[in-house]
Chains A and B, each alone.
Chain A
């Protein structure tokens, strides 16, 4: 599975490069030169989600005990925290690294392999970080927006970083492979279940889901790779309600 998913990611990466070759940037969004392809993949993802993932996640959410769901989230969340520690370290963020590290230690030992989240009540908060964020933090541009089959919004940089993220995922080293795959499915279903209320709301509040999700993803990633605390005027907020910046509308 490890090998397979790695090859899959490589394939995606090559796909991105091929697309870069034949991209036509006529009048579209400069951040999204592959918009036509992306929209097709997005539609494909949506139909898979509607046909398979969402119904399974809904059943899981409705029919399994909440305690079990919390335990599953705690367990995989703890595994993810391990990789966040490494990436916070790579970004030389002492507070985030130490806090997440202590979280992992406490949850793994006292929380029985992360099944219980003892860290949060102790005030140890998560500081999620991945390798794409680390690359961005050190100045690597995100590159064009891409929608990955079955995996959703990404950028060329973040897609390349997925290769490393996979190596840093402790679950990828679980043997036997059959248990690992079963666990990965559970992880995916649980993840999807957490967004069940959210996707309906999203559909209600947007006119074009594709561009809304794209803009939100890019904005969010930019905020995540920003160095230091966010500036109070990160982008100039032009007041379109005024004819001119210096004239009050009152």
Chain B
């Protein structure tokens, strides 16, 4: 009896995020942006520039909404398909570390008067891949910040980010040239090592 009750209870729990899932993509991005800005503003450690704390925050709040495997694959380009699963895993770990650090750095400089305004979604919400546009406001010039999202059943909001565009530059695409330079010169393991060295150097600072 208790066993089956517990089972019902847990399956209900498991079903909860599914019920909340699949928001409109612009609503989802607005919520995520607001939530992040609010946490960054309220946390004294983060305000004081604690990058480690901020990185943890990004890990728990942002990464569940990101398809990092796809992001890495896209930055690596065609060579991704030749990489072994182990290499893919390492590439993903190192690239994640690199991006989370720079993203945390950028977040830590968010000013109190800055807001992120997501523009109304004009595409078709039934599409599996959509673009959501937003602007960082507060300075004299609005800073455009766009996202590419894909539908995902295991993401909290029903969408996962797989690319983003700051000031007209798709960041993941911008990595492709440098990654392929490394791969052409030193192979996939060479790229992994270079990324690992860069992360080590960064964390020593």
Q: Is the CB of B202 within 8 A of A237?
A: no
Which one of B76, B123, B131 lies within 8 Å of A240 (CB-CB)? B76
- Give which listed residue, B81, B170, B179, contacts A243 with CB less than 8 A: B81
In which size bucket is the chain A interface? 35 or more
C-beta contact mask, A174-213 vs B, less than 8 Å → 1, else 0?
Answer: 0000000000000000000000010001001111100110
In the complex the two chains form, is A241's CB within 8 Å of B73's CB? yes
B interface footprint on A236-249 (CB within 8 Å = 1, 0 otherwise): 01111101000000
Using Cβ atoms and an 8 Å threshold, which residues of chain B touch A237? 74, 129, 148, 162-163
Contacting residues, chain B, for A158 (C-beta < 8 A): none
B141 x A128 contact (CB < 8 A): yes
State how many angstroms separate the Cβ of B122 from the closest Cβ of chain A: 8
B31 to nearest A CB, angstroms?
A: 21
Contacts of A50 in B (CB 8 A): none
Q: Which residues of B contact A208 (CB under 8 A)?
A: 178, 181
Partner-binding segment picked from A88-96, A164-172, A218-226: A218-226
| B-side interface mostly | helix
In the complex, whether A62 has a CB less than 8 A from a CB of chain B is: no
A211 near B177 with CB under 8 A, answer yes
Interface of chain A, main secondary structure: loop
Cα–Cα, bound, A233→B78 (Å): 20
Is there contact, CB below 8 Å, between B168 and A220? Answer: yes
Confirm or deny: B156 has a beta carbon within 8 angstroms of a beta carbon on chain A. no
Please determine whether B131 and A205 come into contact, CB atoms closer than 8 angstroms: no
Interface of B toward A, CB cutoff 8 Å: 67, 69-70, 73-74, 76-78, 80-81, 98-99, 101-102, 105-106, 109, 122-123, 129-131, 139-142, 148, 162-163, 167-170, 173-175, 177-179, 181-182, 194-195, 198, 202, 205
User: What are 18 A-B contacts defined by CB distance under 8 Å?
Assistant: A77-B140, A117-B140, A126-B140, A197-B105, A201-B102, A204-B98, A204-B105, A204-B202, A205-B101, A205-B102, A207-B194, A208-B178, A211-B181, A212-B174, A215-B173, A233-B131, A237-B74, A241-B74
